[in-house]
Amino acid sequence: MYWFFVIFAFLLASIKTQKPKKYQKVSVIIPAYNEEETVAKVVGVVKKVSFVDEIIVVNDGSSDNTEAEALKAGAIVINHSVNKGKGEALNTGYREAECDIIAFIDADIYNLTSKKVEAMIMPILEGKTDITKTKFSRASGRVTELTAKPLLNFFFPEISFEQPLSGQFAARKEVLKRINFESDYGVDVGIVIDADVLGISIMEVDIGAIEHDMSPLSDLNIMANEVVRTIIGRANKYGRVTMIDDIGYYIRMSIVGLSLVILGLFTIFFVKFVPLAIGVLISLIGLIISIYYIVKVIVKSINMFRKTPRGSFVRSFIKIHFPMIISIIVLLLMISTFIGAAHFEHGVLSIEPNSRNLIIYTDDSPRDDTISVRGPYTIDTAIENESDQIRMPSDAMMTLGVKVNDTIQLDENEIYLINETRNGEPDTFRLPIEAGKLLDVQTGEVIQNSRLKDIFEGALITHSHDYNNSTVNEKYLITSRDKHAYDFEVTMDNTSIVNATGIFKKNVTYSIAAEGDYLTSFKFKDNSTKSFNYDGHKIKIAFYDTNSTSIKVFTKQNQDYFLNFNFN
């Protein structure tokens, strides 16, 4: 009990001595050049924001009454004797500001509201980001669309803001110390690029519609030049020119080399009319080219990476290198396929690639999927105490039209139960030794999905359909070639219980059994119907010609029962 009070007292003491969360002060910097008509209104709106502690108007050499209007509205005014540019005004205000968070707002906004200002600053106060930039609910300006966005997409493709030249920013003062302020209109895009490359978190926030004076074309020309100069300067500083130019060429040549290696390997294994020596030569030339240029890419990339301190540069780096990365992945997958198909025995290395089968159904038959990729499969021996079972991959079951608990008869005496594969062996056939002999396959052999029909040709399958604790078994032989087939539906008491497809021969008699005993028979004809009664049930079998194909040849009367009903 004593220790309990000691621990409790210690916890109380720690709570009391815990430091309160530091209050974050907010400064708003308003650069102004001849904005006597709007600057006071902007200052007045900012003053209404409860958490703003300081408002500084930087009068950038105005020749009108901007200074007087700003002072009258209650702002601190810092004067430039001559017009130095927006960037210099922002830099002056930021260095004079005494608060932790600084917002930059233009002085010519007619419809500024306190909610717009709050939307700019709150994400930083809440710790969601270090910098916010705004976007407006209007189309981007001409300089943005025709100059900034194309250049950013080329040199800094990871930057995808809707309005990179928005003009309104907020940031923690400590992160602004790491950013180089341009002296002119390039300041906006410069902050965006520096923040991105340096790994400073930056968020674009929508503050709604903004109304301000449209700049004349002459001013836009000056602005575009300054934006272009800033982006190109940053691209050169951070190694993006090298990335696009030199590294771009090296990457293209690397892809050429890798493509030649892939082409050579493909001709060696899959193109018979191309001599082996040519395939090997193509691969060797491609290997030399790819190694040479990949090394140059690595060296250039390391040098370029050193120019960039850290940050989301990696996203752009990956985007530029993506084509080469994909080519390397394709080549590695191709080589791994060949290695997996390699067999070494008695001093001989044999490589025999086996591909999977792409299955595309083009008919209208109801299926869970109309496209699938199956095989190849590896033959292995049955596990202990399973000499009467064949463990079969699910893809192989679909190809043969069987399911778990069906039976397969390989000769008069050998009947096996079909079971699913074990965990971790999705493409493995496990066959009893005698079954392997009858199917003429050996342990370790890799077989394609298309070969299954040849391997199991002539096998007698008993396939079950379950219905209300009862089963309907159909029996068919597997044929190696898909042939014209018919769909049939079995209904009992007007309820459908079986829908299946298989090969029937015209004018051939087929038998039906119940509980293993002969029940009735019929001679098959196109689109015919067979009806009969059993144990108080009305059963009907209807046949339809839907131009489908199948490998299931249903057993004739002299072979076995076509259907066997088992009612519980």
Whether 272 maps to a domain, the answer reads: yes
190 and 53, same domain (yes or no): yes
Residue 4 lies inside a defined structural domain of this protein: no
Query: SS3 letters for 285-349?
Result: HHHHHHHHHHHHHHHHHHHHHHHCCCCCHHHHHHHHHHHHHHHHHHHHHHHHHHHHCEEEECCEE
pLDDT category at 138 given cuts 50, 70, 90 is low
Min mean pLDDT across 76-90, 288-302, 369-383, 550-564 is at 369-383
Parent domain of 533 = 460-566
Q: 333 and 220, same structural domain?
A: no
- The pLDDT > 70 percentage for the chain reads 86
User: Tokens 């087929």 label which residue?
Assistant: 510
Sequence-distant (6+) residues with CB within 8 A of 104 are 28, 29, 30, 31, 90, 93, 94, 167, 168, 169, 170
Give the model confidence (pLDDT) of 293-322 as tens digits: 999 888 877 776 666 555 455 666 676 778
Structural domain includes residue 350: no
pLDDT in tens, 211-244: 766 666 666 777 788 888 888 888 778 767 666 6
- Indicate whether 3 belongs to any domain: no
Query: In the predicted model, is pLDDT for residue 15 greater than 50?
Result: no
Query: Does residue 89 sit in the same domain as residue 232?
Result: yes
Examine the domain organization and report whether 410 and 503 are in the same domain.
no
Q: Look at phi and psi of residue 34 and say left if phi exceeds 0, alpha if psi is from -120 to 50, else beta.
A: left
Task: Indicate which CATH number applies to the domain containing 417.
Answer: 2.40.40
Q: For residue 513, what pLDDT is reported?
A: 93
118 and 78 within one domain = yes
pLDDT-based confidence at 565, cuts 50/70/90?
A: very high
Model confidence pLDDT, tens digit, residues 441-461: 999 888 888 889 999 999 999
Cα–Cα dist 107/70, whole Å: 10
Domain check: are 337 and 208 in the same one?
Answer: no
Q: Do 47 and 190 have their domain in common?
A: yes
Section 102-118 average pLDDT: 90
Same domain, 156 and 31: yes
CA gap 536, 132 in Å, rounded: 79
Residue 333 has pLDDT above 70, yes or no: yes
- The number of distinct structural domains making up the chain is 4
User: What rounded mean pLDDT belongs to the chain?
Assistant: 84
pLDDT digits 0-9 by tens, 148-173: 778 887 777 778 787 777 778 899 99
Which of 312, 345, 378 is at the close of a domain?
Answer: 345
Model pLDDT, residue 316:
61
Is a pLDDT exceeding 50 seen at residue 259?
yes
Over the stretch 507-523, which tens digit does the pLDDT of each residue have? 999 999 999 899 999 99
- The whole-number pLDDT of residue 176 equals 87
Whether residue 483 is predicted with pLDDT greater than 80 in this model: the reply is yes
Asked whether residue 2 is domain-assigned, the answer is no
Three-state SS letters, 64-126:
CCHHHHHHHHCCEEEEECCCCCHHHHHHHHHHHCCCCEEEECCCCECCCCHHHHHHHHHHHHC
Distance, in Å, from the CA atom of 538 to the CA atom of 323, rounded to the nearest integer, reads 65
Last residue of a domain, one of 313, 345, 377: 345
Q: Both 404 and 328 in a single domain?
A: no
pLDDT at 7 > cutoff 60 = no
pLDDT, tens only, 178-209: 888 887 878 888 888 888 888 888 898 888 87
- For residue 409, the model assigns a pLDDT of 95
- Within this chain, do residues 334 and 436 fall inside the same structural domain, yes or no? no
In this structure, the answer to whether residues 65 and 202 fall within a common structural domain is yes
Q: Final residue of a domain: which of 345, 374, 407?
A: 345
Whether residue 270 is found in the same domain as residue 143 = no
pLDDT at 268: 87
pLDDT 10s digits, 72-85: 999 999 999 999 88
Task: Give the mean pLDDT of 21-26.
Answer: 70
Residue 359: per-residue pLDDT:
73
Nearest to 513 by CA among 487, 539, 493: 539
